Every structure is written in C-alpha cells, then in structure tokens.
Amino acid sequence: MFMEVKKTALELLAESVRFVLVGTTHPGNIGASARAMKTMGLSKLKLVAPKDFPNDIAFYRAKAAKDVLDQAEIHVDLFSATKNCELIIGTSARNRKVPWPVISPKEAGKEIVNALKRGTNDVAVVFGREDRGLTNEELGMCNLHVHIPTNEEYSSLNLSQAVQILSYETRLAMLESADLLEKPEWDVELANNDQTERLIAHLDELMQEVDFYDTQNPRKLLTRVRRFFKRSRIDKMEANIFRGLFSAIQQKLKK
Ligand code: SAH
C-alpha cells in the first residue's frame, strides 16, 4: 500500500514536470542536467535550440541517465517547449529590470506540487544559457521566477547544479506533501519522564558524593544538567547505561 501511494505521487511528478534547457552551449551540461534530474525521479527534458546536441560528451556526462537524453525533445523556441503548460517557472541568476514575482527553490517546489494537486497536468521549469541566462522575452513567458540565493558577488551556478537544486526541491516538496519521507524508526523506546528524573537525581547524588559543587550554592548547575538530559531525549537503553555507570562509580567510592 505504502509503495503504491509513493509510486503514484512520484509518477505524477515525473509525468507532469518538464525541465526546459534553453540555448545550452556545452553538451556536457545537458548530460549532467539529465543525470541531476534522474537522481530526483524526473525524466522529461526539453532542449530549446541546443548548440551541440546530440553529442557523445552529453551521453558521457549523463552516466546512467542516458534514457533521459534519448527521450529529450528538441524545440525551436521556448513557446513550443512549454506548450500546454499551466505553470511556467523561470530561473535567473540575477535581478531583472522589471521586477517579477521571485521565489526561492523551496517555494518553487511547493508551487509545483500545489499546482499538480489542483489538477494541473503540465508544469515547466526553465533554465537559461550558460553565458547570458534567459532573455527578457523568455522570462516574460514565465509566471514566476526562481532565484537560488547565492553569494551576491558571484551568483551564477553551473547550469546542471541549478537543475539539481530545483529538481531536489521539487521531489522533496512532493515527498513531504504526500507524507512519504522515510524516517527510520528508533531502535529503542525513549526514556519516560520517571526514568529521566531518576537519572538526573542519580547524577546529582553522585556529584554530591564527589563534592562536585557547593550544595549551599549550586547556582545554575542543576538546571543546566537537567536541560541537557531533557533536550537530548535519551532512550531507555542510554538511560540504563548512565545509571549503571553512576552506580559503578559509587561502588568504587565506597571501597
Ligand atoms: N550570466 C548568466 C548566468 C547563467 S547561468 C545570467 O546572468 O543569467 C545558466 C543558468 O543556470 C541560468 O540561466 C539559470 O537557469 C541557472 N542559474 C544559475 N545560477 C542561478 C541562480 N543563482 N538562481 C537561479 N538560477 C540559476
């Protein structure tokens, strides 16, 4: 059952979300982008007027994502590559003259997943040329712009790395929204309040036995010790290990 739900949510993502690379110069970047997409379960790649594709370098850089390249569609312009899309998100390394709604990659992931939940069938995330990004006209075709918050003095990521960040955030948003993030179960039950309190009392007893602090003036020591154990949410076995250690020290002290 769990696997089925997971498959449906991720399949929906793979079927509905296309990544569009516009005017890419280096075939290596196309291959690396295909790999970045496939690691995140995306496979719809559209290439708008690539300078040099197909090319062996692209296939070499794609590693096990050659299928994504095999299926990649080539278009003459962005308009044709985004046909039927109800949501188009453009990426940009810098601010443009006319402000547009600009969101973070995380917000973009949520926008995409929300659109799919509303029944949108086609969403595009658009990436620009290595040397000069997307034209104003191309950015003007987008509903939203995404900026990856970078160092202001050097804001331009390698194309495939920008693809990796957007595809990761999109997958994460889908997994979170479908409550499919796998969190490993803890191997031991957490200590309950009784056990934690007894542990703290035991440590206090030991500290007094070795004159660790002035009982007339403990200051904040006990509060800090208490905070440490409460904050660490220790499990039953960890509590037992410490209790055993404190007892062993007490036994030695008695001898
Ligand atoms: N000099 C170009 C940089 C292009 S980098 C410019 O000023 O736009 C190639 C592509 O990678 C960009 O078009 C964009 O799609 C993506 N990219 C690189 N850095 C990015 C960033 N900080 N935020 C969003 N996308 C980015």
Indicate the CATH number of 193-254 among 1.10.8.590, 3.30.559.10, 3.20.20.10, 3.30.10.20.
1.10.8.590
Query: Tens digit of pLDDT for each residue in 12-44?
Result: 999 999 999 999 999 999 999 999 999 999 999
Helical axes 2-16 vs 159-177, angle rounded to 10°: 140
One-letter amino acid identity for 175? Answer: L
- Distance from C-alpha of 154 to C-alpha of 172, rounded to nearest angstrom: 27
Q: Does 136 sit in the ligand 1 pocket, CB within 6 Å?
A: no
pLDDT of 164 higher than 80: yes
One-letter amino acid identity for 224? Answer: R
Identify which of 19, 51, 89, 91 to mutate to test ligand 1's pocket (most ligand atoms within 8 A of the CB): 91
Q: What residue segments make up the domains of the chain, in order of their start?
A: 2-177, 193-254
Q: Does domain 2-177 have CATH number 3.40.1280.10?
A: yes
pLDDT of 204 higher than 60: yes
Q: Does 89 sit in the ligand 1 pocket, CB within 6 Å?
A: no
Q: Is 146 helix (H, G, I), strand (E, B) or coil?
A: strand
- The pLDDT, as a whole number, for residue 219 is 86
Residue 129 Cα to ligand 1 middle (Å): 8
Query: Tens digit of pLDDT for each residue in 113-151?
Result: 999 999 999 999 999 999 999 999 999 999 999 999 999
Mean pLDDT rounded to a whole number for the chain: 95
* Residue 20: closest CA among 51, 52, 44, 54: 44
pTM higher than the cut 0.95: no
Identify which of 33, 45, 92 to mutate to test ligand 1's pocket (most ligand atoms within 8 A of the CB): 92
pLDDT of 5 higher than 80: no
- The pLDDT, as a whole number, for residue 162 is 98
Q: Does 220 sit in the ligand 1 pocket, CB within 6 Å?
A: no
Question: To which residue do tokens 């331009």 refer?
Answer: 156
pLDDT of 1 higher than 50: no
